[in-house]
Amino acid sequence: MPLTITSASGVHGFGVDVAATPEQQEMGLMFVKTLAPDRGMIFPYDPPQPVAFWMKNTLIPLDIIYIRADGTIARITNAKALDETSLPSGEPIAAVLEIAGGRAAELGIVPGDKVEWAR
């Protein structure tokens, strides 16, 4: 599914897989060995809720992007491979986007930027 992030540095496109079911959300990107710079995974939550992620069995670093119901980015966390530290959203969110680690900084994506995808 296509997803875009509009930031001060431009519009950035990603192809994302959707983790829609609880089973898909639990698995996420575990055991994935590589992730292309324009790929990711979106985890939708309806209704919006506080969530926490961790990197159990996740072999690559990820940027975890917490998205509010209005589509703005609430927080970006740089998660280390295999780190089981809880990474909370800090507020109710409507979705979480995982992309390759460091990619948000490379593209100039920051909290407040707008994320759009077909919901």
Q: What's 76's domain CATH number?
A: 2.60.120.1140
Residue range 101-105: mean pLDDT, rounded: 98
Q: Contact at 8 Å (CB) between 1 and 118?
A: yes
Separation of alpha carbons 35 and 61, rounded Å: 10
Q: Contact at 8 Å (CB) between 38 and 15?
A: yes
pLDDT score of 13 more than 90: yes
Average pLDDT, the chain: 96
Q: What would the pLDDT profile of 29-83 be if each residue is shown by its tens digit?
A: 999 999 999 999 999 999 999 999 999 999 999 999 999 999 999 999 999 999 9
Residue 49 belongs to domain spanning: 2-117
Separation of alpha carbons 42 and 96, rounded Å: 6
Please report where in the chains the tokens 């519009």 appear, as a residue.
Answer: 11
pLDDT score of 27 more than 80: yes
How many domains does the structure of the chain reveal? Answer: 1
More confident residue, 107 or 118: 107
Residue 72, beta-bridge partner list = 114
**pLDDT given for residue 93 in this prediction:** 98
Q: Rounded to 5 degrees, what are φ and ψ at 25? A: -70, -35
DSSP state of 72: B
**pLDDT given for residue 119 in this prediction:** 76
**pLDDT given for residue 53 in this prediction:** 95
3-state secondary structure of 21: coil
Listed in sequence order, the residues at least 6 apart from 23 whose beta carbon sits closer than 8 Å to its beta carbon are none
